Structure 1
Amino acid sequence: MRQKHLEILLEQVEGFRSPKPSREQYSTPATVAAELLHFAFMKGDITDTVYDLGCGSGILAIGAKLLGAEKVIGFDDDNDALEIARANAKKLGVDVEFVCTDINEVYGKAHTVVMNPPFGAQVRGSDRPFLRKALELSSVVYSIHNAGSIEFIKKFISPSIITDYKLIGFPIKRTFRFHTKETQIIKVEIYRIEKRERDRY
C-alpha cells in the first residue's frame, strides 16, 4: 500500500473526544502516522506481531493492521480512548485487540513496537517508561520524540541503537485552553531503534 493511500484511510480515524492535558493526549495526525508506519513497512518491520504502546484512539495500531501485520495489540490505560479505538477499528474493517493497562503492566513479545509516547512537556520524563517497556517487549521500536532529542535517546536506550531517523513536521490542532493557535506545527523525529543486549563479560 502506498503511503498516500494509507494516509487517506487513516484520515477516517476519530481522535480523543475529551483529551487530558496531563496525559498529553494529542491525536497523532494521519500524515505523521502514515509516515511512521510506511517507514516501518519499507524496512520490513510491519510483520508478525506489532504492539502500539499508549495507543490512544488507535491510529498506529489500525495502520499497522492495514499494512498487513499478522497480529496487532494496542495498549492504553484510558478506557474512554480505547472505546474510540475499537470503534475506529470497526469502521476501517480491521481486527485489532485493545487492552486497558498501565504501561508498566504490559507483557508479551512483539516483533515491532510502534508508538507516539508523551513528549514530557507536561510531566518531565514521561516518555521514559514507554522506551524502557518497548525494548523489553520487542527487538525493533519506532517512536516519535521532540526534535533534538537524539543524544538523550541514544544514552537512555544504550546499548540498543538508533539505526535510522526522520525529521518531520507534526501539526497539533488547538486542543487545550493554553493553545493560542488553531494549528501549530512542531518538529519531531521518528526513530527506528534496534535492541542490543549488554555484554555480560
Structure 2
Amino acid sequence: MCAKMQITAGCPDYFQTELAADAESQIKKFANSVFQERVRFYSRFFDDENIFDTNAAQLQSIIPNVPCVMSFSKVTRRCAYFHYKLWGSQSAKLLGGHLDVELPWRELAQQVQGEVGASLAEDDLYEMIGDWLTTLQKIYAVFLLDLYALVDGDNPFYVTQLEGVNGGYRRDWKRNIFARWRCFCTRFSRSELRRLMRRCGSNRKRRSGGGN
C-alpha cells in the first residue's frame, strides 16, 4: 500500500510538478508486471498524501494478521526519505516492523553536475534524479518481496528477483554517471539483502533446533 510521495516547497519545480505523479505511475506499471497476482498492490491507497507512521499504526490495528507493507515517502530540498511499515509476517518481525531509507539526492546531483558541467541542462538533471529515486523505490519493493518469500514462503528453491530490476537508464547519459548510480542502488540493496538472509538462516536454524 503506497501513499503519494510528499514533495516539500524547497524542491526544484520539476519535483513539485512531475515527480510524484510520474513515480506513482511508473511503480504501478512495474508492480503489475513483476508482482502480478501474487501481491495485491495499491499505488494510491490513501486519499490524503500527508501519511505517516500514525496512519500505519491505525491500519495495522484493523488488519493485524494480514501480511502488509505500507510505503510512504518524502522528498525535501536535500534528501529523499523512504519509509516502510511492515506487519503480519515473520519478515516484518525480522526488520523490527519498519525499514527507513535516507537518500542524499542533492549531493548526487552536485556530483553529476560537477562532472558534466553545462552539457546537462538543469531540467534534465532533475529528471535524471527523479528517475533514480523512482528506481530505488522499485528496488526496495522487490527487496521486500524477496525477503518475504525467503522468510515466510514455502518454496526452498525461490530465486530472488532483485537482480532483474530494470533501472530504466537513459542511453544519452554518460556511462560513468549512470554506472555509479546503478552501482550505488544495487550494491546498497544487495548488501542489505545478504545481511538479512544471514539473519534468516540463523533464525531458521534456531527454530529447527540447529542453533544454540
- Normalising by structure 1, report the TM-score: 0.28
Q: Which has the higher helix share?
A: 2
Q: Which has the higher strand share?
A: 1
Q: Which has the larger radius of gyration?
A: 2
